[in-house]
Structure 1
């Protein structure tokens, strides 16, 4: 009875994590698409300063992580606590500032489903860099996964987008939009590698420490770019929000969803591991495309849906391979 009760509680926690990640990021996707395509107010103006979202996201996540460290009794950053010093995040903070900004800017040129699909092909640059730079040899099933994903994204990019979807874009330009997504993935790869390096050097660093350090530097860099750069687009974004309070509210909700979503991701990884988190976030991306197609008026053709299924078949197969590898490792660890 105790074991059954424990198993039921674990299942409920997992369901709670799935609901949290799905609701936070699916709604964030809806808001992101709204902010990139909607015309606000009587003057029908678009919100062009999409990179402003990153600054607000950094500030909210910075406050959120600080409060979580204080409330949950975290160690905080610093050599005295055993965690990574705050200055160690400066390089990852740069790529974590540029990468997401490029991903958001891509929505001016391609549709939200196309952006989600392109950003789902993260394994391709990872395997490419692993082969060319580090000489890593991958298995045939891994190449099959990458081929399915690469083929699906490529075919989706080549297929004609509906005129209704194109009319919503600020500056339709598919090659530039996909280039931004690819650069986003490259910068994300460096960010993840740097975070792993920091965690290895400072084992006592918690997820909240990393979140705090990354968003601290992200806030600094974005403030410099938004308000000290010659364009001063941060001032334009603030003026737009004052003139269109509806946009300001959407921006706040967008960033709040990001902070809540990160909270559930940390909870999922700590309780169920990274594989479970990968599975949840991958299925969430597929649902986001469905929601966008149904609610936001981005109709996909049958061929485009075939490309979407192709990409997520490759991602699902990759998750299965990781699960099988994990099972083999666990069997080896069991005492004979």
Structure 2
């Protein structure tokens, strides 16, 4: 039995290490060729994106091949014990939690309802926390990607490695959520860890595209693109989760997109030097919206299937994001150049820390708001934040805004509030129907 276990462990080790080495060498070869190194500055994002994906593949491909091998060979039946087996079980196997769920129901303790004033205080606290976190994050994000940094010797430079910013943000978010999980008792986690890789990869790519787009488009364009991503989110929801939408959801989404077009036509692109620059920025926004739409729908599917807590989702998604971006940065050696930039420009170091802290705590405020007050209240707070973000950016970074832009902006947020109103009416009808059903059941007795 030990001999068979050793043989199987050697096979699985070969399956993991061989593609890692092969992909690493391929990454080094391609990144050193003229094809990737002699591209136009307008298309640097394509070169950088290919390098990043090659780096992520050294983790994703061996994981996929291991999964295929385990499925086809009944690996766990032949190797019931060992450190590698335990690791692979955690990564690929869905635990049966029927007993733990039963015991939780038996030992359930009634939760005391919060008083009106306590809930009012929490709502104000979460509102202020979200506004401060993400308004600060938006301002610092635009500064990091668009403003020059000056060293003590008077040398000035732009910081251009978007992946390093994603790496730092995810590392801090993972650290904070990990500490909370250690000190907060959560329900048993039964989701196979490999399922987080999908939304982790899409989350990394959406964040990277968001940072890269700031090199080609102004921050207000990004905010409006986020506000107008409801149509692709709905399409991705039908594809991933088979979600059915109401007629008013389609109407408000189309109205919102029209408002965004008015805004973008009016404000123009004050960063575009050529039409190619504008095309690059638009392509990055389209890719960002596609990945971001997939992320939210995939996470929603995991929440529903495995009853994951928000802090567990935050911890494991950021764990894999940290691993993927860290692996890619080390392979490209850009990790060391970014650290050198960090040490050379103290102002950038401060901005980087503030950006990461705001991102991490912003996630905590999001999860807390949705958990306590539901998604409807969060959408209202988020909409107010988007309005303020655009206005603050226009003031601080001198983005021009005229009558047509104001009309388009108001059109966008009017459509969002209209959607909130219809959602509220729908919820009220549902509550009324439930009360009517309860009354009719009582009358039967």
RMSD: 2.4
d(CA) in 1 for partners of 2:265, 2:359: 31
Q: Normalization by structure 1: what TM-score?
A: 0.88
8 Å contact 2:133–2:359 — kept in the other structure? yes
Larger mean Cα displacement after TM superposition, 251-260 or 175-184: 175-184
Offset at residue 222 of structure 1 (A): 0.5
2:147 pairs with 1:38: yes
**How many residues are treated as equivalent by the alignment?**
321
Aligned to 1:166: 271
Aligned to 2:283: 179
Candidates 88, 96, 100, aligned match of 2:207: 100
2:168 pairs with 1:56: yes
Q: 1:1-336 residue pairs with structure 2 within 5 A? A: 6-41=115-150, 42-75=154-187, 81-129=188-236, 138-159=245-266, 161=268, 165-166=270-271, 173-203=277-307, 205-229=308-332, 232-334=333-435, 335-336=438-439
Q: Is the partner of 1:108 in helix, strand or coil?
A: coil
Offset at residue 104 of structure 1 (A): 1.4
Structure 2: gaps (5+ residues)? 1-113, 440-445
Distance 1:113 1:135, change over 3 A: same
Q: Normalization by structure 2: what TM-score?
A: 0.67
d(CA) in 1 for partners of 2:207, 2:283: 13
8 Å contact 1:109–1:172 — kept in the other structure? no
Larger mean Cα displacement after TM superposition, 46-55 or 83-92: 83-92
8 Å contact 1:61–1:211 — kept in the other structure? yes
d(CA) in 2 for partners of 1:213, 1:133: 21
Offset at residue 236 of structure 1 (A): 2.4
d(CA) in 2 for partners of 1:222, 1:127: 29
Aligned to 2:100: none
8 Å contact 1:166–1:172 — kept in the other structure? no
Distance 1:221 1:130, change over 3 A: closer
8 Å contact 1:119–1:182 — kept in the other structure? no
8 Å contact 1:118–1:178 — kept in the other structure? no
Q: Is the partner of 1:51 in helix, strand or coil?
A: helix
Structure 1: gaps (5+ residues)? 76-80
d(CA) in 1 for partners of 2:317, 2:426: 31
Offset at residue 123 of structure 1 (A): 0.8
Q: Which has the higher contact order (CA 8 A, sep 6+)?
A: 1
Aligned to 1:78: none
Offset at residue 268 of structure 1 (A): 0.8
Offset at residue 189 of structure 1 (A): 1.7
Distance 1:305 1:207, change over 3 A: same
8 Å contact 1:157–1:174 — kept in the other structure? no
